[in-house]
C-alpha cells in the first residue's frame, strides 16, 4: 500500500530557485494538505484542499503555491526559494476534511542556501 | 490565528514510569487528535476524540477531550523505550474551516531504560 507519497525526500536549493514538491495519494482521499515543520514550532499548515479544483490558505501560505487538478495529486510550488523556507515539509490526506483520520507522508527535507 | 499550548515541551523519564501531557487553548475545539512522530518519519495518529468528556484508550495510551472543549490530555502508562518520540496534539477549532487542522508544538519524550 503506497498511502501518501512525497518526492523528493531531500533537496538543496539556491536562493531564488523554484521547485515543486510532489505529493500523491492512492486512497481516493478528498482532503489533502501541506505542512512545514520547524524546530520548536510544531507543524504549521501551508495550504490545503478539500477536493479537486479547490484550494485554500493555511497559517503560513506566503511563498508557496498549490493546485489540485486531480484527486490524487497535490503539488507544492516554491516560487523563489528563500533560506527561511528551509524546513521539513509533510503532505497529508484524509477521506474528507474534519473528523477523519489524517495520514502523513514521510516528509521532504528542503535546504535553501 | 488559533494556538494550541502543549506542555511540557520535553520529558525525561525512567522506563516503567507513567507520563502525562496536555494541550490547552483559549478557543473551543470540535476534535482533539494525538499524534506520535519518530525521527525521520511523518506523524502517526494515536487517538482521536470527537466529544466533550470522551475518554479513549489505545493500549497503554489514554486521552480525554476536556469538558470545556478547550483542553485535552494524553497519558502513557508504564513507559517503555519505544515510546520515545515527539507527541503532538492537534485539533479543529469551533468556527474554523474543517480543513484547518492545527498542531501544538510537541512534547519530546525520552525514556531511560
In this structure, are residues B10 and B110 in contact, taking their beta carbons and an 8 Å threshold? yes
Predicted pLDDT at A18:
96
User: Residue A82: helix, strand or coil by DSSP?
Assistant: coil
* Nearest neighbour of A106 by CB, restricted to B42, B50, B101: B42
Structure confidence at residue B10 (pLDDT):
95
- Tell me which residue of B77, B78, B51, B80 sits closest to B64, measured CA to CA: B51
Q: Which residue has the cell 512545514?
A: A36
CB pairs below 8 Å between A and B: how many?
Answer: 64
Chain A residue numbers touching B92 (CB-CB < 8 A):
98-99
Which residue is closest to B1 within chain A, CA to CA?
A59
Nearest CB partner across the interface for A42, out of B40, B44, B88: B88
Q: Distance between CA B56 and CA B48 in Å, rounded?
A: 8
| B69 and B82 Cβ atoms separated by less than 8 Å | no
Interface of B with A in 45-84 (CB under 8 A): 45, 48, 50
Q: Mean pLDDT for each consecutive 10-residue tract of chain A (113 residues)?
A: 87 97 95 92 90 92 97 97 97 81 91 97
pLDDT digits (tens, 9 = 90+) for B7-59: 999 999 999 999 999 999 998 888 899 999 998 889 999 999 999 999 999 99
Amino acid at each position: 500500500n503506497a498511502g501518501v507519497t512525497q518526492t523528493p525526500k531531500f533537496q538543496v536549493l539556491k536562493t531564488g530557485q523554484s521547485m515543486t514538491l510532489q505529493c500523491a495519494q492512492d486512497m481516493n482521499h478528498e482532503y489533502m494538505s501541506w505542512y512545514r515543520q520547524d524546530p520548536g514550532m510544531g507543524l504549521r499548515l501551508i495550504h490545503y484542499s478539500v477536493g479537486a479544483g479547490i484550494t485554500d490558505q493555511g497559517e503560513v501560505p506566503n511563498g508557496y503555491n498549490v493546485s489540485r487538478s486531480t484527486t490524487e495529486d497535490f503539488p507544492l510550488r516554491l516560487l523563489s526559494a528563500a533560506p527561511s523556507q528551509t524546513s521539513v515539509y509533510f503532505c497529508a490526506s484524509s477521506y474528507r476534511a474534519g473528523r477523519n483520520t489524517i495520514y502523513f507522508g514521510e516528509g521532504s527535507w528542503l535546504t535553501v542556501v | 490565528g488559533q494556538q494550541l499550548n502543549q506542555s511540557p515541551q520535553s520529558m525525561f523519564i525512567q522506563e516503567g514510569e507513567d507520563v502525562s501531557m496536555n494541550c490547552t487553548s483559549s478557543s473551543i475545539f470540535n476534535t482533539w487528535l494525538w499524534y506520535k512522530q519518530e525521527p525521520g518519519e511523518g506523524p502517526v495518529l494515536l487517538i482521536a476524540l470527537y466529544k466533550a468528556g470522551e475518554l479513549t484508550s489505545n493500549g497503554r495510551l489514554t486521552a480525554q477531550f476536556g469538558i470545556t472543549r478547550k483542553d485535552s490530555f494524553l497519558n502513557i502508562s508504564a513507559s517503555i523505550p519505544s515510546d520515545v518520540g515527539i507527541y503532538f496534539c492537534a485539533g479543529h477549532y469551533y468556527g474554523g474551516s474543517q480543513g484547518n487542522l492545527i498542531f501544538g508544538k510537541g512534547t519530546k519524550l525520552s525514556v531511560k531504560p
